[in-house]
Amino acid sequence: MDPHRLVLIRSGTTRLRHRVGSGYLVAPRLVLTAGHILRDGESGAYWEENQVRVGHPGRGETLRTGAELIWTHPQNLDVALLLTHDEIDVPGSVRWGHPVGTAPLRYEGLGFPLASAEDGRDAEHLRGVLPPLSSGARGLYVLDQEPAPDLRDDGRKAWGGASGTAVFCEDHLVGVVIRDDRSYGNRRLRALPAHCFVQDDDFEALLRRYADGPLALTKIGAALPTAQPAAERNPAQQETERLLWSVLGGWITYAEHARVLARRLGYTVPDSHEPTMPDLAALVAAHPRALPSLSSTLAPALTGEAERTRLTDVLTRARAGGLCLLLSQDECEHLLELLRGICKEQPTLIPRAAREALRYAWLPDPLNRTHLCADDLEHVVEHLESVSDSERVPDGTPPVPALLRLVECVAAALGREAGAELRSWSDQVATRTGIHPAALAERRTDAGRWAARQSPPFSRVVVEVSRAQTEPHESYYCRILLARADGTHTSLHEAESAPRTPEEVARRVRDAVEVVADELGPTAAPHATVLVARDSLHLPIDEWNPGAPNEFVPDQPIGAEFCITLSCPEMSDLVRGREREHRRRWENGHAAPLVVDDERVTRPRLRRLLQTTHRDATQVVLHGSPEQRDTLLELCLALGVPVVLWDRRADCLADAAGLQQLDLTGPLADLPERVRVFRGTAFDEPETLPARPALVWEEHGRRPRPESLTLQDPPEGAHAT
C-alpha cells in the first residue's frame, strides 16, 4: 500500500460538489473507486464532473486534477475506474491478491471518512481483520475495523467518504470498500473482492494499456501464528498456555491435535510441522473458536471422568475470561447453515422466539426487528454465545447459554421433524461443553410449552423517554416495550443505555412500530405511547424525524407516520387515588370534551368543574397561553383526566382556531388517528397549518409500567437488566 497513490474524489456538477469518496491510483492515470460515489442517488445518473486529489495530505505534496469515468462493471457491481486528465508519476506497481482459506487475515487501507473531517478531509488508516468465513451470500468481504468512529449526532454516516478505499492484505490489493454495516455499531465495513472485477475483459484491457503489464491474482493465505519469546507474551497468551497444559500436558499426541486444529482453522500445515505448546497457545489466543474446536477432537478421546471434568472446567473458565467463544468452527458453520434456511422460509420466527424466550437478556439489534436478515446471523450467534439464559443448573455444571435456549425454541416452533436437526445440534454442543443433560432437557420442555402457547399479538409500542441532563447536546435516554392487550409486555433491550439524539430515538421507535404492525396486520393502525415526566410533556416528540426509511420513500416525523401519544405515569406516584379516578372517567365518561377557552379559568375553577359538572369528563381541550396551559395540564392529569389535547405552538386564546380541523367533538376513539393525519398535513403545509397538537392519551388497563431505567452504560460483559 503506497500512500502516494491515495486519491480523494469529489463528484458533482460544475457548480457544486455533491459526493466525496476515496480511491487508489492503480496505474499512472487510472483511479480505482466505488461506483456509487460517482452517481446521483436519486436519478441514478453519473455526475458530470469529477475532481481528484492524488497523494497523502500528510506525506508531501498532492496533485489536483480532473478525471472522467471510463469503466463500470457490466453486471452493475459497485466499482469503477476514473481516467485522470493528467498523468501522475508514482514509483512501483500494484500487486493484486485473492485471499484463500478460512483463517482471518490482517488488512489495511487509506481513505477519507467523514469522521476524520475537520477543516477538510483527513486521511484515515483503516486496519483490522478480514474473516473469510464471514462473507455472506453476496460474496462481499467483511472488514472488522479496529479503530471505529461513533455514530454521528447529526445522522450523517461517520464512514461516509470511505467508500472506494482500496483494501490490502500482505501488500496485495484484494478489494474495494463499498459500504458500512450499522448493525455492528460502525465497527464493520464491507468490501467488493478484487477477483469479482479484475477478470472483466474491459477492465483488464485498461490495466494492460495504462499499467503496461499483465494482471495477475496472487493467492494469499494467513500466516500461522507462532509464539513470541516468553517475556513478550501477553496475559491472554500466558493464561491460554496454562489452560492448555492442564488438559494436554501429559499427552504425547498434542502436536497432532495442534496440526488438525490449524488445518481446520484454514491454515496450510505440513505433516512435518512440530508446534510447541506455546505455538499452540498462540494459535488458540488468536482465534476465538480455536479452543472449542480443539475440544471437539479431545472430548471423544477422554474416557476418565476426571479428565472430562477438567476439560469442561477449562472451557468454562476460558469463556468466562473472554479467551474463546462457545462454538467450535464446525458447530458454528452448521448452525449458521440451518438458521439461514429458517431465515429464508420464516424470517420472523427467530426474532419472535428470541424476544419471548430471552426476555431478560440483552438482545442484539437484529433480534429487535420484525425480520431477521441472513447477513445478520453471524453477529446474532456470536452475541448469544456469551450470554447465559440465567436459569438454574445442577451444581458444578456450566450455565446454559442463551443461544441453546433460543435454538430449542426455534426447533420446537418448527415441529418434531423439521426441528430434529437443530435439537441434534444442541445435544452435540451440550455434550462437548459439559452442560448437564437435565438442564438441557428442562429448556427443551420449556421450549415445547412456549411453542404450544399462542401469545396474543403486540398491540402497541411503549417508549420511556428522559432527557440526558449531563450531555452538552440535546439527547435522551430511551427504553422501548412491546405491549399486548392483556397487559404483558416484552422489552427491547440493547447493549448499552447510551444517550441518543432525537433522530436516533425516532429511528428506534419506528423500528419497534414495524414489529407491532407486522403482528397487528394490515387493517389496524400502530400506536406508540411515550412515557415522560411531567416536566417533559412539552417535548415535541411527535416532530422528531427518523429520516427516510429507504431511498424511495421521503422522510416525515414519527407523529405523522403513526399514532403517537403521551402519558405521565409519574402523576400516579404523586397523587393518591388518581388511578381510581382515571378508571372511573373511562367507565362513566361523556364523549363531549371540556374545552377550556377562557383566560379567566384558574386552577380552583377548573378543579370545581372537573369535580362537579364535568366530574365524568374523559377529555379536556386546553387553549390559552403556555403558562396557563402548563398549570391546568398538571391539574387535569392529577384529577385523573385520561385524554388532554393542546396546541404547543399556541400563544393566546386567539390561536384556538388552529385545532378546529381536528373535529374536537368527533368520536373520541378516533382522536389519535385524526391527530396523526393532522400532523402529516401540517408537516406538508406548515404555513397553512401552524398548530402542533400534543395529546395525552392514557387508556385504562393498558399502561405497562417499565422497570426502572438504568441511565448509564452497563459494565463490560454485563448482560442482565
**Set of cell numbers at residue 124:** 484515515
Q: Catalogue the E-assigned strands of 592-690.
A: 594-596, 619-622, 643-647
Query: Tens of pLDDT along 666-683?
Result: 889 899 999 999 999 999
**Same domain as 497, residue 557:** yes
- Are 143 and 107 contacting, i.e. CB atoms less than 8 angstroms apart? yes
Task: Look at residues 320, 339, 370 and tell me which one is the last residue of a structural domain.
Answer: 320
- How are beta strands 619-622 and 643-647 bridged, if at all? parallel
Tell me the average pLDDT of the chain: 85
Q: Among the listed ranges 72-76, 305-309, 630-634, which one has the minimum average pLDDT value?
A: 305-309
| Whole-number Å distance between alpha carbons of 498 and 505 | 11
Of 522 and 81, the one with more pLDDT: 81
What pLDDT sits at residue 493? 64
**Same domain as 93, residue 203:** yes
Task: Look at residues 222, 257, 286 and tell me which one is the last residue of a structural domain.
Answer: 222
With cut-offs at 50, 70 and 90, classify the pLDDT of residue 161. Answer: confident
For residues 23-44, average pLDDT: 90
What pLDDT sits at residue 712? 31
What pLDDT sits at residue 496? 54
What pLDDT sits at residue 460? 86
Q: Is residue 718 part of a domain?
A: no
- Are 519 and 527 contacting, i.e. CB atoms less than 8 angstroms apart? no
Beta bridge partners of 693: 647
**Same domain as 176, residue 139:** yes
Q: Is residue 710 part of a domain?
A: no
Q: Is residue 332 part of a domain?
A: no
DSSP H or E run through 611: helix 603-611
What pLDDT sits at residue 465? 93
**Same domain as 246, residue 161:** no
Selection from 98, 82, 68, 333 nearest residue 192 by Cα: 98
Of 570 and 355, the one with more pLDDT: 570
Q: Among the listed ranges 86-95, 455-464, 618-627, which one has the minimum average pLDDT value?
A: 455-464
Q: Is residue 406 part of a domain?
A: yes
Contact partners, residue 175, CB within 8 Å, separation at least 6: 141, 166, 167, 191, 192, 193, 194
Show the 3-state SS of 33-100.
ECHHHHECCCCCCECCEEEEEECCCCCCCCEEEEEEEEEECCCCCCCEEEEECCCCCCCCCCCEEEEC
**Same domain as 385, residue 495:** no
Q: Residue 644: what are its φ and ψ, rounded to 5°?
A: -130, 130
Q: Among the listed ranges 18-27, 432-441, 515-524, which one has the minimum average pLDDT value?
A: 515-524
With cut-offs at 50, 70 and 90, classify the pLDDT of residue 250. Answer: low
Contact partners, residue 530, CB within 8 Å, separation at least 6: 463, 464, 465, 541, 564, 565, 566, 567
What pLDDT sits at residue 234? 76
**Set of cell numbers at residue 396:** 458444578
Query: Tens of pLDDT along 310-336?
Result: 888 888 888 888 888 999 989 999 999
**Same domain as 681, residue 546:** no
What pLDDT sits at residue 265? 83
Beta bridge partners of 1: none
Query: Tens of pLDDT along 110-155?
Result: 999 887 776 678 888 999 989 887 765 568 898 988 887 776 655 5
| Whole-number Å distance between alpha carbons of 258 and 297 | 10
| Whole-number Å distance between alpha carbons of 699 and 362 | 29
**Same domain as 10, residue 91:** yes
CATH of the domain at 57: 2.40.10.120
Contact partners, residue 314, CB within 8 Å, separation at least 6: 243, 246, 247, 291, 295
What pLDDT sits at residue 132? 82
**Same domain as 36, residue 3:** yes
Selection from 323, 254, 331 nearest residue 287 by Cα: 323
Q: Count Cα neighbours of 290 within 13 Å in the Cβ-side half-sphere.
A: 31
Amino acid identity, residue 336? Answer: L
Find where cell 424466550 sits.
357
For residues 504-526, average pLDDT: 81
- Are 82 and 70 contacting, i.e. CB atoms less than 8 angstroms apart? yes
**Same domain as 536, residue 448:** no
| Whole-number Å distance between alpha carbons of 197 and 88 | 24
**pLDDT at position 701 over 60:** no
Residue 127 belongs to domain spanning: 1-222
**pLDDT at position 710 over 80:** no
For residues 443-449, average pLDDT: 92
Query: Tens of pLDDT along 329-368?
Result: 899 999 999 999 999 888 889 988 988 888 777 788 888 7
CA dihedral 584, 588, 592, 598 (to 10 degrees): -40
**pLDDT at position 706 over 70:** no
**pLDDT at position 180 over 60:** yes
Contact partners, residue 53, CB within 8 Å, separation at least 6: 7, 8, 62, 63, 64
% of the chain at pLDDT higher than 70 = 91
**Set of cell numbers at residue 689:** 397549518
Of 419 and 153, the one with more pLDDT: 419
**pLDDT at position 443 over 60:** yes
What pLDDT sits at residue 318? 84
For residues 279-285, average pLDDT: 83
- Are 314 and 281 contacting, i.e. CB atoms less than 8 angstroms apart? no
In the chain, what is the straight-line distance between the N-terminal and C-terminal CA atoms, in Å? 46
| Whole-number Å distance between alpha carbons of 644 and 646 | 7
Q: Among the listed ranges 360-374, 603-617, 687-701, which one has the minimum average pLDDT value?
A: 360-374
Q: Is residue 336 part of a domain?
A: no
Task: Look at residues 505, 539, 566 and tell me which one is the last residue of a structural domain.
Answer: 566
Find where cell 467523514 sits.
114
**pLDDT at position 617 over 50:** yes
Q: Is residue 699 part of a domain?
A: no
**pLDDT at position 591 over 70:** no
Of 55 and 707, the one with more pLDDT: 55
In a 3-state reduction of DSSP, which class is residue 491?
Answer: strand
Q: Among the listed ranges 107-121, 177-191, 242-256, 408-422, which one has the minimum average pLDDT value?
A: 242-256
| Whole-number Å distance between alpha carbons of 384 and 380 | 6
**Same domain as 552, residue 473:** yes
What pLDDT sits at residue 372? 87
Query: Tens of pLDDT along 212-239?
Result: 766 788 888 887 787 778 777 777 778 8
**Same domain as 204, residue 113:** yes
**Same domain as 513, residue 479:** yes
| Whole-number Å distance between alpha carbons of 326 and 386 | 7
Q: Is residue 39 part of a domain?
A: yes
**Set of cell numbers at residue 51:** 475532481
For residues 687-691, average pLDDT: 91
- Counting the structural domains of the chain, the total is 5
Selection from 712, 369, 416, 351 nearest residue 512 by Cα: 369
- Are 685 and 710 contacting, i.e. CB atoms less than 8 angstroms apart? no
| Whole-number Å distance between alpha carbons of 17 and 9 | 10
**pLDDT at position 183 over 70:** no
For residues 522-528, average pLDDT: 77
Q: Is residue 700 part of a domain?
A: no
For residues 675-692, average pLDDT: 93
Of 210 and 711, the one with more pLDDT: 210
In a 3-state reduction of DSSP, which class is residue 578?
Answer: helix
**pLDDT at position 720 over 50:** no
Of 183 and 73, the one with more pLDDT: 73
The conformation of residue 521, written as its DSSP 8-state character, comes to -
Number of C-beta neighbours around residue 92 at 10 A: 8
In a 3-state reduction of DSSP, which class is residue 533?
Answer: coil
What pLDDT sits at residue 711? 31
**pLDDT at position 707 over 50:** no
